[in-house]
Amino acid sequence: AQSVTQLDSQVPVFEEAPVELRCNYSSSVSVYLFWYVQYPNQGLQLLLKYLSGSTLVKGINGFEAEFNKSQTSFHLRKPSVHISDTAEYFCAVISLKGAQKLVFGQGTRLTINP
Amino acid sequence: EPEVTQTPSHQVTQMGQEVILRCVPISNHLYFYWYRQILGQKVEFLVSFYNNEISEKSEIFDDQFSVERPDGSNFTLKIRSTKLEDSAMYFCASSVGRPPGELFFGEGSRLTVL
């Protein structure tokens, strides 16, 4: 079974500041990793995913994430945030074999202050 | 841009009543899913559906739940006799292929059971 932990439930930052949203996972098998974003009153939207290859993955809206297998982490970063990045961010994993289900973390609410 | 649509956006029902949540997946997608998020908790997998049958379901998806694709465009989730603990946001998703192909999520249907 897999589990995902997002260490921060809320992260407030000032506009144009850098941000890192932390995600750690636990799994007995290899996994694919994802970050989803949920803007207010909208559905979940894929930001980026790691399947294989380079451990640094770039996504939409200037976000990137780095897969660290030894630390079982997949932290999300953006060098300079904008007011429009205010949203809930979800880290998720899915196992390489068998199960078709995404296992989500509890989410991190990112609030950008002017 | 094609999107997954869900109705209703919010439904309030009495305990013990039947509820049907409706979803229209993206037209060329073949895999369909329901996830739910109880307030303050993680997004949880309920069920996946492919080729007109359930391909995987979670422990949550007991005999009170059923899914159907009645007409080739809609994908429904039925809860036969709602309980207070069924109150949650229910998300429909669809994908072209099996995960880790991208899942496209709807905006969610909020179910409140009184």
Residue of A nearest to B31 (CA): A100
Inter-chain CB proximity B45 and A41 less than 8 Å: no
**pLDDT single digits (tens) A91-101:** 999 988 777 78
**pLDDT single digits (tens) B41-92:** 899 999 999 999 999 999 999 999 999 998 878 999 999 999 999 999 999 9
Which of B42, B102, B103 minimises the CB distance to A105?
B42
Phi, psi of B97 (to 5 degrees): -125, -175
Note whether A102 contacts B: Cβ–Cβ < 8 A.
yes
- CA–CA gap between residue B79 and residue B89 (Å, rounded): 14
- CA–CA gap between residue B76 and residue B67 (Å, rounded): 5
Q: How far is B2 from chain A (nearest CA, A)?
A: 13
- CA–CA gap between residue B104 and residue B94 (Å, rounded): 5
Q: Which residues of A touch B4 (CB under 8 A)?
A: 43
For residues B113 and B52, is the Cβ–Cβ distance under 8 A? Answer: no
* A50 CB-near residues (< 8 Å, 6+ apart): A32, A33, A34, A57, A65, A67, A74
